[in-house]
Amino acid sequence: MSRILTVRGGVPLKGRIQVRGAKNLVPKAMVAALLGNAPSTLRNVPEIKDVEVVTSLLQLHGVTVVKDPVTGDLTLDPANAKTASSSEINTHAGDSRIPILLCGPLIHSIGHAFIPDLGGCKIGDRPIDYHLEVLRKFGAVVDKTGGGILISAPHGLKGTKISLPYPSVGATEQVLLSATRAEGITELSGAATEPEIIDLIAILQKMGAIISVQTDRTIRIEGVNELSGYVHTALPDRNESASWASAALVTGGDIYVEGASQRDMMTFVNTFRKIGGGMDIHDDGIRFYHKGGDLKPLVLETDVHPGFMTDWQQPLVVALTQAEGVSIVHETVYENRFGFTNALTRMGANIQLHRECLGSVPCRFGQRNFIHSAVISGSTPLTGTTIDVPDLRGGFSHMIAALAAQGTSTVTGIDIISRGYEKFTAKLDGLGADFDVHESSKVLR
Ligand code: EPZ
């Protein structure tokens, strides 16, 4: 039974919240522990659903995962790694896309892997063709079966040359997790270089891997026979940090995001400044606040790192509905990432969606009929309404729109938000939001 949020809007969010390890690194770091010949310890682990899903998937495969009751640090021991039944994997995988990244490590440790049909946010069809192509290039045999894919490598994985058609984060991680213990050298061109990728490389290097990142998005990996365990503190979640920054703008608030790292958010910081947001940047976090006066409209294009991160777009679009003037957002990473704007329009926002590339460069979706550009005309008052959360980032955007709207909103399906935002209702509480969380007729908070 999923929880329901009743939000009474119009209250500025003010106070301090803590952001911990990145949702888009921590599960991959947990999978990397499978490659080690000794236990690993991961620090700064957030309590989010994606970590729970990967914990149960790893335990299913014989990995012991022990959580420190005080710090939340995880110690993972892959000594007894074993196969798991496809039905069990299907049950535990939920709507996570992480199972596809278990392939390389499982093939190295037990010779094969089973991947159920994958989930993940509905922001496009989320194919895995790059992943399967990468595994085949390493010498794996990929067999599609009912309900999933069986992948094996009777002769082990061999280093190879790979060129990605698009700097896919997941496919880059697939290469890193497969190549580090493959025989010989792997050269990956067209790689993703997001901060979470670099943090995963740091983890693998701690384990004994030999990996170099060149200036032209080429990553070179020299396979080694074995890897040790690691001890690593996960980098902070730049996507959660940016989400709360947008929440401060949308509600006219002032939020100190402890843990926000300027280094990983340089493009966001520039954009936040251009829209007219206030910032004080410190070593242990960033204060994001609404300075009063009008917010300025923007022309914005999402891109792979170091461009404007696609996961930052949805919460910022809510802020753009409150800017004085016309803003344009061209989403170039996912083909269908504006579905969340329907609810904003119902609340009073003026957002028009287009098939054309409304940006400086034509992207992969331009002539393929995908609605991937938005024109936002502000500022428009938002009125509370009933909202069903569509996906993780869209859901956070709906939540902050409800917090800014006049009147009351009922937000259902909020458990999706728990996939990537640690203790978000407690954080809202601490920031002074006026809301109730309830399940059917019971009020939980
Ligand atoms: C990761 O997804 C993140 N998720 C996403 O964050 C993030 O938006 C994305 O990278 C881009 O930075 C996790 O790390 C768990 P991709 P991933 O492979 O790896 C296409 C969030 O809200 N593609 O870089 O799945 C794909 O369809 C989530 O935290 C293929 O065509 O992203 C997309 O258009 C959302 N074939 C583009 O590449 C493939 O085999 C980028 O996807 C793989 C990807």
Q: Per the annotation, does 287 bind a ligand?
A: no
Cβ(146)–Cβ(137) under 8 Å? no
270 is in an annotated binding site: no
Nearest to 438 by CA among 47, 1, 2, 3: 3
Provide the CA 19 distance to its chain's centre, in angstroms.
Answer: 14
Average pLDDT over every residue of 123-152: 87
Catalytic residue, chosen from 103, 121, 357, 363, is 121
Ligand 1 centre and the CA of 124: distance in Å?
10
Active site residue 357: no
153-156's contacts with Cβ under 8 Å and 24+ in sequence apart are 153/107, 153/111, 153/112, 154/111, 156/107, 156/108, 156/182, 156/183
Residue-wise pLDDT tens digits, 313-369: 999 999 999 999 999 999 999 999 999 999 999 999 999 999 999 998 779 998 899
CA angle 249, 438, 425 (to 5 degrees): 35
Residue 373 burial by CB count (10 A; 0-12/13-18/19+): exposed, middle or buried? buried
Domains along the sequence of the chain with CATH: 4-19+236-444 (3.65.10.10), 26-233 (3.65.10.10)
Q: Judge contact between 14 and 257, C-beta under 8 A.
A: no
Q: Residue 122 has what pLDDT?
A: 66
Compute the distance from residue 2 Cα to the ligand 1 centre, in Å. 26
Rounded mean pLDDT of the chain?
A: 94
What band does 273 get if pLDDT is binned at 50, 70 and 90?
A: very high
Task: Quick: pLDDT tens for 208-262.
Answer: 999 999 999 999 999 999 999 999 999 999 999 999 999 999 999 999 999 999 9
Under a CB-based contact definition with an 8 Å cutoff, are residues 103 and 135 in contact?
A: yes
Calculate how far, in angstroms, residue 12's C-alpha sits from the geometric centre of ligand 1.
Answer: 33
The residue whose CB lies within 8 Å of the most ligand 1 atoms, and thus the one to mutate among 166, 175, 268, 418, is 166
pLDDT for residue 89: 82
Q: Could you tell me the distance, in angstroms and rounded to a whole number, from the CA of residue 238 to the centre of ligand 1? A: 16
Over residues 151-155, the mean pLDDT reads 91
**Among protein residues, the one whose CA lies closest to atom 3 of ligand 1:** 24
Q: 168 in ligand 1 pocket by Cβ < 6 Å? A: yes
Indicate if ligand 1 lies below 6 Å from the C-beta of 312: no
> Looking at residues 49-67, what average pLDDT do you find?
94
Measured from the Cα of 97, ligand 1's closest atom is: 15
The CA-CA-CA angle for residues 406, 411, 414, to 5°, reads 140
Would you say the CB of residue 169 lies under 6 angstroms from ligand 1?
A: yes
Supply the residue whose CA is at minimum distance from atom 31 of ligand 1.
127
Q: Span 149-167, mean pLDDT?
A: 94
Select the more confidently predicted residue: 75 or 127: 75
Read off the pLDDT of residues 83-96 as tens digits, 9 standing for 90 and up: 888 778 878 776 67
24 marked as binding residue: yes
Distance 120 CA to ligand 1 centre (A): 10
CB of 306 sitting under 6 A from ligand 1? no
Ligand 1 atom closest to the CA of 393, numbered from 1: 22
Q: Quote the percentage of the chain above a pLDDT of 90.
A: 84
**Tens digit of each residue's pLDDT (9 = 90 or more) over 178-211:** 999 999 999 999 999 999 999 999 999 999 999 9
Which residue, 316, 329, 376, is CA-closest to 352?
376
Establish whether 23 is an annotated binding residue: yes
The closest-lying atom of ligand 1 relative to the alpha carbon of residue 133 is 40
pLDDT tens, position by position, 394-436 = 999 999 999 999 999 999 999 999 999 999 999 999 999 999 9
Which atom, in ligand 1's list, is nearest to the CA of 239?
29
pLDDT of 120 over the 70 cut: no
Is 311 annotated as ligand-binding?
Answer: yes
Q: Is the pLDDT of residue 123 over 80?
A: no
- Rounded distance from Cα 97 to ligand 1 centre (Å): 10
Structure confidence at residue 124 (pLDDT): 66
Q: Return the pLDDT at 443.
A: 59
Q: What is the rounded distance in angstroms from the CA atom of residue 166 to the CA atom of residue 146?
A: 29
Q: Whose CA is nearest to atom 9 of ligand 1?
A: 169
Q: Decide: 352 in ligand 1 pocket, CB within 6 A.
A: no
* Ligand 1 pocket member 239 (CB < 6 A): yes
pLDDT bracket for residue 121 (50, 70, 90): low
